């Protein structure tokens, strides 16, 4: 399986609201099938962006070390991991590893 397919695997998402101090709540998200892949923020969208960034970095790091990331299910065919990596502001190495040209993207 190539990196594009590995980055297109859907993982289970766990979400919970946690009270960090009395009256102070944060959103904690995790991909439990990817060890250590968690994120926490005051706003769910921020936590999700950070979680996706960590998922991609974890999978790319494993592939660079010659290790296989967990594959609990088949990749999604409609996924575009290159666009996702660039949208998250990840390094150009992800685009290079995917065989694409790293270029800034604009959102409309």
Q: What is the rounded (10 degree) CA torsion for 28, 89, 8, 27? A: 10
Predicted local confidence at residue 67, as pLDDT: 96
Predicted local confidence at residue 100, as pLDDT: 57
- Structural domains in the chain, CATH included, are 3-75 (3.30.160.250)
User: Residue 10 — φ and ψ, nearest 5°?
Assistant: -80, 135
Average confidence score pLDDT of the chain: 88
Predicted local confidence at residue 95, as pLDDT: 75
Angle 20-39-85 from CA coordinates, rounded to 5°: 155
Token representation of residue 6:
């590995």
pLDDT tens digits along 14-47:
999 999 999 999 999 999 999 999 999 999 999 9
The CA-based diameter of the chain, rounded to the nearest angstrom, is: 48
State pTM to two decimals: 0.82
H/E stretch holding 25 reads strand 24-30
H/E stretch holding 13 reads none
């Amino acid at each position: 399986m190539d990196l594009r397919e590995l980055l297109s695997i859907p993982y289970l998402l766990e979400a919970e609201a946690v009270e960090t101090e009395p009256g102070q709540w944060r959103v904690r998200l995790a991909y439990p099938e990817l060890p250590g892949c968690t994120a926490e923020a005051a706003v769910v969208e921020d936590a999700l962006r950070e979680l996706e960034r960590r998922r991609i970095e974890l999978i790319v790091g494993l592939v660079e070390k010659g290790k296989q990331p967990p594959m609990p299910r088949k990749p999604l065919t409609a996924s575009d991991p290159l666009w996702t990596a660039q949208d998250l502001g990840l390094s150009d190495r992800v685009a290079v590893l995917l065989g694409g040209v790293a270029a800034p993207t604009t959102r409309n």
